[in-house]
Structure formats: structure tokens, C-alpha cells
Amino acid sequence: MSPAAAWLLLDSPSGRHLSLPVPRRALGGLTRAVSFVLRRMAVDRDAALAQEVEDRADWEDVCWQACATDPAMAIWMVAESHRQAVEAAQAGQADGESSLHRWLERLRNALVLPLSPQPLGRLGAAATVPETWWHELVGGGLTDQPSRLIAAELARQWWECLDECPATEQADPSAARFPLDGADDEQVLILDSLFLAAGAVGRLLAGYDSRVAAARLEAIRELAYGAGHEINNPLANIAARGQALLLDETDPERRRRLATIVDQAFRGRDMIGGLMIFARPPRPSPTSVDIAAVLEPLTQSLQATATERGVRLAFNPPQTPIIVRIDRGQIEESLRGILLNAIEAISGGGTVTIKAAVSEDPTTPGCLVSIVDNGIGMNRETVERIFDPFFSGREAGRGVGLGLSKALRLIEGNDGKLTVKSRPRQGTTVSVGIPLATRP
């Protein structure tokens, strides 16, 4: 077999940590695969994510064709697919947005090149596969370019055989045992540069959504605050003049029209007030209160509205009191807007469930209030913009207004956190984390 130009670290099915040799001829295919995945990461992000699920097989096929003719890489890709399947089952759903970056980062961590950080130390932590045994296992490799299905099945058999490998642990690696003298090799330099570029792209994309959303909301807040001042004054004048004319008006039809003008002026004023709250929410005045004492009367007050739409509104109170520290009026207003939004999202009957529990997620404040509806759900684009003032999500059954925008700002002002998870035809879950008065 060709001498190793690099080594791959992987775990056997039983968890044995092994190092497999990668010959120089395999580095060309590796370079093509890494370059392809890197280009896919750098293309227009929205378009790439929209096609992520249906295109997943495409990019994996390209990687197989590029580099899986080498036995070590074929085995690593089988082992990686197995690990991804296990993680997706544990998490409930794979994160399509980061699958490309995650795959590339794991390959970078598994591949030991002469230019890799502390290569001998990393290799010393893995058992060595004897060269003779390895040659007997893989023979000539996959030189006949079989289909991915055949190659994956053969690589899976090799991977399972690694549990029977007579590998030995050697705590003191040496350059003689792991010859890594190709630091000046052009192929090694190119591959190492691609991995460095992939790391930079990954760091750039990390938190991209949250940064864009924060910048967009900040721009909207500034616009809302400035426009609110400019529009509020003429609305106040219209309402005042209309009320003054009503005092002396005796004609019923003219009184009705003037009353409509006054009512609409006040409606406009209230909308501007909502915008002002979104732009600059009032400072909260927190007190300690049992969350059930907030949720139960709120649920009761909306029962009539839910019944009119054929929606069942259910509140599951916690078994033990959960004392939170919040501005009760602000949180009630926020939750009311979220509940009304959930009721609107259901057509033809359905259920909205409200429940509260102590959060087990360290990134979420102590009390987690969940509002779950079995409506038609929302796509990713709608979820991203659902907190924008006056954004219309009518295709998701949700109306136009400021309810969710105000809810977000008021909850954040109370040191809380609001998140939305939704998928088309699978309903929506809105989670509101709010701080406990005392930690349990």
C-alpha cells in the first residue's frame, strides 16, 4: 500500500478510538470534496437553506464520488452518517442549516495532516491499526468506482470489522511511527488552506440569523419612534376637533360620521402607542406573583373569543406554585397578544394549550410558559419576520398588527426570552421564559 500522507481518527462501532492511514493519492479527492462543500456554504444562504433537505443527498453523493474511493475515507463517511443519524434521533430533527458546516468541521477534526495542530499528540490518543491487518481487510480498496450504495455497504462491513482489529495502544507517539513529513507538499498545503477557509466561513455564519434580525428590529424601532411623534400630533388634533364638533351637532347622521372620525383617530392613536411601546417599552415595575394567578384569569377572559372561532382553550396549571418576578401588567398584555395570535391561527376548530413549568434549559429563564396550537403552522420565512410590526402572516392564519411585536419587547424588558418553533401543517409552539422570584 502507499505510505500514509495523513491519518483519520474515528471510533469503531463499539467505541474504540482508532487511527487509519490515508495515502497521498486520496488527498486530491479530499480536496475536491472540501472545496465543493465550502462553495455550497458560501452561496446565497437563503436559497441554499430552502433546498437543504432535497439537496442533502446531492452534496453527500458528490463527496462520496470525490473521496470515498479511499477505504479510510469511506469508513469515516459511514461512521459519520451513523453518528448523524443517532444525533438526529436524539434531537428529534437534524439542524439542516448547519449540516454542511458540521460535516466539514468534523472531517477537519478527524483528519490529521502534517500541518494540523499537535498532530502526534492527537495520534497518540488513538490505537494504531496494524498495516498488515489493514491491507488484508481492505485489499485494493474501491478502485473500480462502484455505486455509492455498494461502496457504502462494503465500507460498513469494514467499519464493523474494526472491532476485531488487533490494534495496540501506544501512549508515546513518535514521528517514526507516524511519519508526517509532507508539510511542504502542495496537496497538503491546499487542503490545509481550505480547512482554514472553512473555519472562517463557519465563524462568519455563526449567529448570522440573530445578528440580521437584531439589526432589522433596531432599524424598525428607530423608524417607529420617529414616525410615532410625527403622526401622533395630527391624530390628536383630528380627535379633538371631531369631539368639539360633536358637542353642537344635532343631526343624527352627521353625529354618526363625526363619531366614526373620532373613533378612527383614537384607533390610530392606539396603534401609534403600540409602536412607541415597541420602540421604547416602559420600564417594568416587577413584583413577585404565582404564574398560575396570571395565566388562569387570562385564559378565562379569552374563552369567549376562542369559542366564537370554534377553538378549545386549555390551561394546564403547574402542580406546585411557581413564583416569578415580573411586571404583571406587561406580561399579561404580552401573553394576551400571543394567545390571540394562536387562536387566529386555527381554522375549522382546534386546540390552544397553555402550560407552565420550571425550565430545565440553562439558556432559558427559570419559568417556561408554553403556548401550543395545532394550527397550520408557519414556514421558516414567516417565523423569521413574525415579530416585525404589521407583518402580515395571513398565509399562516395570522393577522396584521402589533401584538407579537409588543409581546417581544415587553418580555425582553422583563429579562425574559421569547422563542417560536413552527413547521407548516404541524402547528406552532411559542415559549416564554421569565425569571423566577427565587431559584428553586
Residue 191 and residue 335 in one domain: no
Please, what's the largest Cα pairwise distance for the chain?
A: 107
Long-range contacts of 299-303 (CB under 8 A, 24+ apart): 299/339, 299/354, 301/336, 302/336, 302/339, 302/340, 302/343
Is residue 171 in a domain? yes
Instruction: Tell me which residue range forms the domain holding 191.
Output: 4-206
pLDDT at 206: 67
Model confidence pLDDT, tens digit, residues 386-429 = 877 666 554 444 444 566 878 888 898 999 999 899 888 888 99
Residue 164 and residue 255 in one domain: no
- In the numeric block, the cell 414616525 is attached to 227
At residue 103 the predicted structure's pLDDT band, cuts being 50, 70 and 90, is confident
> Can you tell me the distance from the alpha carbon of 384 to that of 215, in angstroms, rounded to the nearest whole number?
13
* For the chain, percent of residues with pLDDT exceeding 90: 20
Q: Are 426 and 380 in contact (CB under 8 A)?
A: no
> Can you tell me the distance from the alpha carbon of 207 to that of 215, in angstroms, rounded to the nearest whole number?
12
Residue 177 and residue 216 in one domain: no
Is residue 439 in a domain? no
Residue 269 and residue 325 in one domain: no
**Average pLDDT, integer, range 229-246:** 87
- CATH code of residue 309: 3.30.565.10
Q: Which of the listed residues 279, 298, 330 is the one where a domain comes to its end? A: 279
Residue 233 and residue 199 in one domain: no
CA angle 164, 169, 170 (to 5 degrees): 150
299/376: higher pLDDT: 299
At residue 294 the predicted structure's pLDDT band, cuts being 50, 70 and 90, is very high
CA angle 368, 373, 346 (to 5 degrees): 150
pLDDT at 439: 52
> Can you tell me the distance from the alpha carbon of 339 to that of 371, in angstroms, rounded to the nearest whole number?
7
Q: What is the mean pLDDT of the chain?
A: 79
Model confidence pLDDT, tens digit, residues 297-349 = 999 999 999 998 889 999 988 989 999 999 999 999 899 989 988 888 886 67
Is residue 386 in a domain? yes
Residue 332 and residue 257 in one domain: no
Residue 200 and residue 222 in one domain: no
**CA-closest candidate to residue 76, choices 165, 151, 170:** 151
Residue 80 and residue 12 in one domain: yes
Count of positions (residues) in the chain: 440
Q: Which three cell numbers stand for residue 437?
A: 422570584
Is residue 228 in a domain? yes
**Average pLDDT, integer, range 242-246:** 91
At residue 57 the predicted structure's pLDDT band, cuts being 50, 70 and 90, is very low
pLDDT at 220: 73
Q: Which of the listed residues 206, 227, 257 is the one where a domain comes to its end? A: 206
Q: Is the pLDDT assigned to residue 253 strictly greater than 90?
A: yes
What pairs with residue 86 in β-bridges? none
What pairs with residue 369 in β-bridges? 356, 432
pLDDT at 7: 84
Q: Which of the listed residues 156, 180, 206 is the one where a domain comes to its end? A: 206
> Can you tell me the distance from the alpha carbon of 69 to that of 47, in angstroms, rounded to the nearest whole number?
31
Kindly report the backbone phi and psi dihedral angles of residue 419, in degrees, each rounded to the nearest multiple of 5, phi listed first: -130, 150
Q: Is the pLDDT assigned to residue 51 strictly greater than 70?
A: no
- CATH code of residue 220: 1.10.287
Residue 129 and residue 223 in one domain: no
What pairs with residue 161 in β-bridges? none
Where b means 16+ CB within 10 Å and e means fewer, 388-427 reads bbebebeebbbeebbbbbbbbbbbebbebbbebebeeeeb
pLDDT at 170: 54
Residue 28 and residue 172 in one domain: yes
Kindly report the backbone phi and psi dihedral angles of residue 327, in degrees, each rounded to the nearest multiple of 5, phi listed first: -85, 105
Residue 376 and residue 261 in one domain: no
Helix 71-91 / helix 148-161 crossing angle, nearest 10 deg: 90
Is residue 440 in a domain? no
Is residue 269 in a domain? yes
Total domain count for the chain? 3
Residue 304 and residue 419 in one domain: yes
Is residue 221 in a domain? yes
Three-state DSSP state, 111: strand
Model confidence pLDDT, tens digit, residues 165-224 = 886 655 445 544 455 555 567 778 888 888 888 777 777 776 676 677 677 767 777 777
Lowest-confidence segment of 18-27, 44-53, 194-203, 324-333 by average pLDDT? 44-53
Q: Are 128 and 167 in contact (CB under 8 A)?
A: yes
